[in-house]
């Protein structure tokens, strides 16, 4: 089985290409459809903004991207991956690629013109940040999200039942309404509002006409309240009740959404020439990165896939042939959003890796490095030093407990206005202790999500992790195993999202072209797990179980309206645990 790019010989001359559009870059991955061997990969970092993100000094909630970065990155990443595949495998030929799959961040919608071109491509809007793509982490529409939630609770509670009970500022309609209010010129000029996971496949096929773009069920169901049970998108009457500008927008959108195994079309001659690929190969429908990451990690019923990165997404599936309860606080329960034939369940945390990066960026603990290294300390060196210091501590030894809400709470509270906290500081607290507490805080947050799944009958029998953090941070993985009380397994591919996209590319191509008949067949051939498994340590588990109860008290007290938790003993409990762990109690 393949464990990385170029580590296994090609088994056949049939490959698929996965395009993984992340927050800061786009990755192209070429995989052998017979065994998942990763032949070549290339990452292109977006050129504009700060790490590819356009910000607004006046509003820290704003996060946008320029669509030209997506297209420029597409060409660069694909050509780079082809070059790498040829370097790794002498018998590789780009003509062997039979299909393309696409995943992106989301909800990341953008305004487009009547031909489906991003509105910012027009001279009139070229410098207008509101005419660009509204990145998933843009929270500027928190007020609009609250209004949509309020109206839905009053008029259409079924809409909220399928998206966890609260509509989010990260999602499709709240961003559209905020655009209408802060940039009416942009809103009135746009012919449609398009998720870029739908735009990229359409662009590759050469037809971006908004009326003909195949919109994916993943984005539609989880972010735009689409459900066939009530006829697709929210009805005009409801949208009009929220704001009179939303009802006319519905007519500019779509009536039908599709699972990602349904081809968006065939690669156009123009894009084939730009990319150096064969014209006419299948292009799958688009979906979000986390959903395809779950597929690339081998998701199936009973398996919780955690995509660990700047934020996290927790994905599960359940057969659509049975009854499934609506689960409050989730980011949606959507038929076919991850695997066709299964309900896709999405949860997650708005910040994980971003929290650790924040701490290193703004509070760099230079004293942990040798004097000669302090002047040019890199973030990697600081993370490594903090990890070593944190790893030397026992659970509970810091006396600290952190809430992981530095970018709001995505699940289960669904509140972007919550903020992070660290309880238990003293004049003796060290940076390594804080760093460990931040990791533990994200683990406790993950435990709340896991508990919510099980509370509503979706049993977590296995946890599979993927993403850079899962690959590189053994301390975090052990803490997660100890907090969750389950073995932490890791997807074989270090590029699970791109591999998932490649799987859908192989399915879109079909068996007749040398691909796969369905996702299950493709997963069986192309997915796997690493041999390393992090097992829970019983003595750590005992301490973390007590800390998890304190975390939940803080979670409910700060995050819910009707909490009755008494916090007067929290600091003393933390000090008691600290003393017991250090052997000072008596």
- In the numeric block, the tokens 């009805």 are attached to 235
Dihedral of CA atoms 157, 159, 165, 169 in degrees, nearest 10, equals -130
Q: What is the enclosing helix (H) or strand (E) of 294?
A: helix 289-296
What span, in angstroms and rounded, lies between the C-alpha atoms of 49 and 53? Answer: 5
- Does any domain span residue 314? no
- Does any domain span residue 453? no
Q: Report cis status (omega within 30 of 0) of the bond before 539.
A: no
Condensed to tens digits (0 to 9), the pLDDT of residues 432-455 reads 999 999 999 999 999 999 999 999
Condensed to tens digits (0 to 9), the pLDDT of residues 64-75 reads 999 999 999 999
pLDDT band at 367 (very low <50, low <70, confident <90, very high): confident
Nearest CA among 158, 177, 217, 219 for reference residue 194: 219
Condensed to tens digits (0 to 9), the pLDDT of residues 232-260 reads 999 999 999 999 999 999 999 999 999 99
What span, in angstroms and rounded, lies between the C-alpha atoms of 165 and 323? Answer: 19
Nearest CA among 233, 315, 308 for reference residue 468: 308
Domain holding 195, by residue range, is 15-290+494-526
Residue 244, CA distances (Å) to 63, 237, 238, 250 in order? 26, 9, 10, 11
Residue 484, CA distances (Å) to 462, 479, 557 in order? 11, 8, 22
pLDDT recorded at residue 1: 30
Query: 164-173, 365-374, 526-535: lowest mean pLDDT where?
Result: 365-374
Return the structure tokens found at 206: 């050469």
pLDDT band at 373 (very low <50, low <70, confident <90, very high): low
How many beta carbons lie within 10 A of that of residue 161, not counting itself?
16
CA 575 to chain centre: 36
Total domains present in the chain: 1
Query: 2-16, 83-97, 268-282, 567-581: lowest mean pLDDT where?
Result: 2-16
Calculate mean pLDDT across residues 347-360. Answer: 94
- Does any domain span residue 514? yes
Return the structure tokens found at 7: 């580590």
CATH number of residue 194's parent domain: 3.30.420.40
What is the average pLDDT value for the chain, to the nearest integer? 93
pLDDT recorded at residue 365: 82
Condensed to tens digits (0 to 9), the pLDDT of residues 168-221 reads 899 999 999 999 999 999 999 999 999 999 999 999 999 999 999 999 999 999
pLDDT recorded at residue 331: 83
Asked whether the predicted pLDDT for residue 136 surpasses 80, the reply is yes
- Which neighbouring-strand residues pair with 56? 59
- Does any domain span residue 4? no
284, 266 in Cβ contact below 8 A? no
Helices 196-205 and 67-88 cross at an angle (nearest 10°) of: 60
pLDDT recorded at residue 377: 75
CA 438 to chain centre: 20
In this prediction the pTM is 0.89
| pLDDT more than 70, % of the chain | 96
- Does any domain span residue 211? yes
What span, in angstroms and rounded, lies between the C-alpha atoms of 150 and 560? Answer: 16
444, 548 in Cβ contact below 8 A? yes
378 Cβ contact list (under 8 Å, min separation 6) = none
């Amino acid at each position: 089985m393949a464990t990385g790019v170029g580590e296994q010989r090609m088994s056949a001359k049939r490959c698929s290409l996965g395009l993984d559009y992340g927050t800061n870059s786009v990755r192209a991955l070429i995989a052998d459809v017979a065994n998942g061997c990763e032949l070549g990969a290339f990452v292109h970092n977006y050129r504009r903004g700060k790490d590819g993100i356009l910000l607004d000094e006046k509003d820290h909630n704003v996060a946008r991207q320029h669509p030209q970065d997506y297209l420029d990155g597409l060409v660069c990443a694909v050509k780079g991956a082809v070059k790498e595949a040829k370097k790794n495998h002498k018998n590789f030929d780009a003509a062997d690629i039979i299909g393309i799959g696409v995943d992106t961040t989301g909800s990341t919608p953008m305004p487009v013109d009547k031909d489906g071109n991003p509105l910012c491509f027009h001279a009139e809007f070229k410098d207008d940040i509101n005419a660009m793509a509204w990145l998933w982490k843009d929270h500027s529409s928190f007020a609009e999200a609250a209004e949509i939630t309020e109206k839905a609770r009053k008029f259409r509670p079924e809409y909220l039942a399928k998206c966890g009970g609260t509509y989010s500022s990260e999602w499709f309609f709240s961003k559209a309404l905020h655009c209408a209010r802060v940039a009416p010129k942009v809103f009135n000029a746009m012919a449609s509002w398009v998720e870029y996971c739908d735009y990229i496949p359409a662009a590759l096929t050469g037809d971006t006409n908004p009326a003909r773009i195949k919109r994916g069920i993943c984005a539609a169901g989880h972010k735009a309240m689409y459900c066939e049970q009530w006829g697709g998108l929210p009805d005009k009457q409801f949208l009009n009740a929220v704001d009179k500008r939303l009802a006319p927008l519905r007519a500019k959108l779509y009536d039908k959404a599709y699972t990602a195994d349904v081809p968006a079309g065939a690669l156009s001659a123009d894009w084939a020439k730009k990319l150096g690929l064969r014209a006419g190969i299948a292009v799958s429908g688009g979906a979000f990165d986390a959903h395809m990451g779950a597929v690339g990690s081998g998701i199936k019923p009973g398996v919780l896939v955690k995509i660990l990165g700047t934020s996290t997404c927790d994905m599960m599936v359940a057969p659509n042939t049975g009854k499934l309860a609506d689960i409050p606080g989730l980011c949606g329960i959507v038929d076919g959003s991850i695997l066709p034939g299964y309900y896709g369940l999405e949860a997650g945390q708005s910040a994980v890796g971003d929290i650790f990066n924040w701490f290193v960026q703004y509070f760099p603990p230079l004293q942990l490095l040798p004097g000669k290294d302090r002047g040019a300390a890199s973030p990697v060196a600081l993370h490594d030093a903090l990890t070593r210091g944190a790893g030397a501590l026992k659970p509970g030894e810091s006396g600290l407990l952190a809430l992981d809400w530095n970018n709001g709470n995505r699940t289960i509270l669904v509140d972007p206005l919550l903020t992070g906290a660290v309880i238990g500081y003293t004049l003796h607290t060290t940076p390594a202790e804080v760093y460990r507490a931040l990791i533990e805080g994200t683990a406790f947050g993950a435990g709340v999500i896991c508990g919510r799944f099980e509370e509503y009958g979706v049993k977590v029998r296995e946890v599979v992790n993927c993403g850079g953090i899962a690959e590189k941070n053994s301390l975090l993985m052990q803490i997660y195993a100890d907090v969750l009380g389950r073995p932490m397994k890791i997807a074989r591919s270090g590029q699970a999202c791109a591999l998932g996209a490649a799987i859908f590319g192989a399915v879109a191509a079909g068996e007749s072209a040398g691909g796969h008949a369905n996702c299950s067949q493709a997963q069986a051939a192309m997915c796997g797990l690493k041999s390393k498994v992090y097992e829970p340590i019983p003595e750590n588990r005992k301490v973390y179980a007590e800390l998890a109860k304190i975390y939940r008290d803080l979670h409910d007290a700060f995050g819910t309206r009707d909490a009755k938790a008494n916090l007067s003993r929290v600091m003393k409990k933390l000090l008691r645990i600290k003393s017991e762990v250090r052997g000072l109690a008596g």
